[in-house]
Chain A
Amino acid sequence: DAGITQSPRHKVTETGTPVTLRCHQTENHRYMYWYRQDPGHGLRLIHYSYGVKDTDKGEVSDGYSVSRSKTEDFLLTLESATSSQTSVYFCAIRKDRVMNTEAFFGQGTRLTVV
Chain B
Amino acid sequence: QKEVEQNSGPLSVPEGAIASLNCTYSDRGSQSFFWYRQYSGKSPELIMFIYSNGDKEDGRFTAQLNKASQYVSLLIRDSQPSDSATYLCAASNYGGATNKLIFGTGTLLAVQP
Contact = CB atoms under 8 A, between A and B. Distances in A.
Interface stretch (B11-19, B41-49, B66-74): B41-49
A43 B46 contact: no
B99 A94 contact: yes
Count chain B CB atoms within 10 A of each CB in A41, A43, A45, A107 and give the residue with the most: A43
Contacts of B98: 48, 50, 56
Contacts of B100: 45, 48, 56, 58
Given A42-B103, A54-B97, 11 more contacts: A33-B101, A35-B103, A40-B8, A42-B6, A43-B90, A48-B98, A56-B100, A90-B43, A97-B99, A99-B31, A102-B34
A99 B105 contact: no
Interface of B: 3, 6, 8, 31-32, 34, 43-46, 49, 51, 88, 90, 92, 94, 97-106
A42 B105 CA distance: 4
Contacts of A48: 98-101
B99 A43 contact: no
B83 to A, nearest CB: 19
A62 interface: no
Contacts of A40: 8, 105
Give the size range of A's interface with the partner: 20 to 34
A105 interface: yes
B101 A59 contact: no
Contacts, number: 65
- Per CB-CB distance, the 7 closest pairs between chain A and chain B, nearest first, are A42-B105, A43-B103, A105-B43, A99-B32, A102-B46, A99-B51, A42-B106
A66 interface: no
Contacts of A35: 103
A99 B34 contact: no
Contacts of A90: 43-44
Given A102-B34, A105-B43, A106-B43, A97 B101 contact: no
A59 B51 CA distance: 23
